[in-house]
Amino acid sequence: EIVLTQSPGTLSLSPGERATLSCRASQSVSSRYLAWYQQKPGQAPRLLIYGASSRATGIPDRFSGSGSGTDFTLTISRLEPEDFAVYYCQQYVSSPFTFGPGTKVDIK
């Protein structure tokens, strides 16, 4: 089973600031097999990024993903009030499909 580690656990930032979230895999997931999700309180997760860097339909371009192998990054270029949420990465190179523990982005 591939274990995903996310850092930091919590990121405290102000609106307008840049957010950089990290996801590290216990073994390579190539450059294609990683997704990012956003979850707000009381809501289901929403797909943001797939294939490590492709934005899902309707996702603003302030969200970008990068990385390959075992190290991946989700960047939010300028935080909007609606971006304060928990972010999860997920690998799909092999079953079982695993999620990271999440990074909470909260308002400083």
Q: Which two tokens stand for residue 92?
A: 């799909």
Minimum distance between the CB of residue 97 and another protein, rounded to whole angstroms?
5
Q: In the complex, which residues of this chain contact another protein (CB under 8 A)?
A: 1, 33, 35, 37, 43-47, 50, 56, 88, 90, 92, 94-102
Lookup: tokens for 96 = 């079982």
Closest to another protein by CB, 67 or 100: 100
From the list 20, 21, 19, 25, the residue with the least C-alpha distance to 5 is: 25
Three-class secondary structure of residue 86 per DSSP:
strand
Residue number with CB closer to another protein (14 or 95): 95
**Closest by Cα among 76, 63, 88 to 18:** 76
Minimum Å gap between C-beta 24 and another protein is 15
Provide the minimum distance between the beta carbon of 103 and another protein in the complex, in angstroms, as a whole number: 11
